[in-house]
């Protein structure tokens, strides 16, 4: 891959929830096993909405996709293997995440992680950070690629 195709960051304007779902769907279509996406943003920013789109893109189905607020993890099967949807809001300490098997999942599954701050920086080196923030009535999504994700961010 040529140096020109490396992309560090991209912004998307999301005027409504349908746009958040659509961005999630595109992301879910390009994810591969081992891809980790960290979803940043305050309460109500749209992290779960984006995840629902990504789950649809991964499985090819319109899914129920309950928020994993209490279960911490929901997994989904698709043609490319397992997708983990993780919400760490209620995680008490970072070590508890490893008991969920998250470190193994980083290697073999595609992972969407809400509230990645709860891991206190113990995030994989290769990852996509996606930060959602309010913008008028809608949202803006800032995507930042780390490591190998720089070769992939241009494909979303």
Ligand X SMILES: Nc1ncnc2c1ncn2[C@@H]1O[C@H](COP(=O)(O)OP(=O)(O)OP(=O)(O)O)[C@@H](O)[C@H]1O
**Part of the chain binding Mg ion (CB under 5 A), chosen from 43-51, 54-62, 71-79, 142-150:** 43-51
> 102 vs 153, which CB is nearer to Mg ion?
102
R_g (Cα) of the chain, nearest Å: 14
Least distance from ligand X to the Cβ atom of residue 47, Å? 3
- Decide if 156 contacts 27 (C-beta within 8 A): yes
Residues 37 and 111: beta-carbon distance below 8 Å: yes
Contact assessment for residue 97 and residue 87, using Cβ atoms and an 8 Å cutoff: no
Residue 48 touching Mg ion (CB under 5 A): yes
Residue 105: name its binding partner from ligand X, Mg ion, none (Cβ under 5 to 8 Å by kind). none
Q: How far apart are CA 25 and CA 52, in angstroms?
A: 8
Summarize as ranges the residues that interact with ligand X (CB under 6 A). Answer: 14, 16-17, 19-20, 41, 43-49, 114, 138-139
> Which tokens hold the place of 89?
């809001």
Residue nearest to Mg ion (CB): 48
- In the complex, the residues that contact Mg ion under the rule CB under 5 A are 47-48
């Amino acid at each position: 891959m040529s140096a020109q195709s490396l992309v560090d960051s991209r912004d998307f304007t999301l005027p409504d929830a349908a746009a958040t779902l659509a961005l999630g769907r595109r992301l879910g279509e390009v994810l591969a096993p081992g891809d980790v996406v960290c979803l940043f943003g305050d309460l109500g920013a749209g992290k779960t909405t984006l995840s629902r789109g990504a789950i649809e893109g991964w499985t090819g189905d319109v899914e129920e996709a309950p928020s994993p607020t209490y279960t911490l993890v929901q997994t989904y099967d698709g043609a490319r293997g397992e997708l983990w949807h993780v919400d760490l809001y209620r995680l008490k300490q970072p070590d508890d995440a490893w008991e969920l098997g998250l470190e193994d999942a980083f290697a073999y599954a595609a992972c969407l992680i809400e509230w990645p701050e709860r891991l206190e920086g113990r995030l994989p080196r290769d990852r996509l950070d996606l930060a959602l923030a309010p913008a008028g009535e809608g949202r803006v999504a800032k995507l930042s690629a780390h490591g190998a994700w720089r070769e992939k961010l241009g494909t979303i």
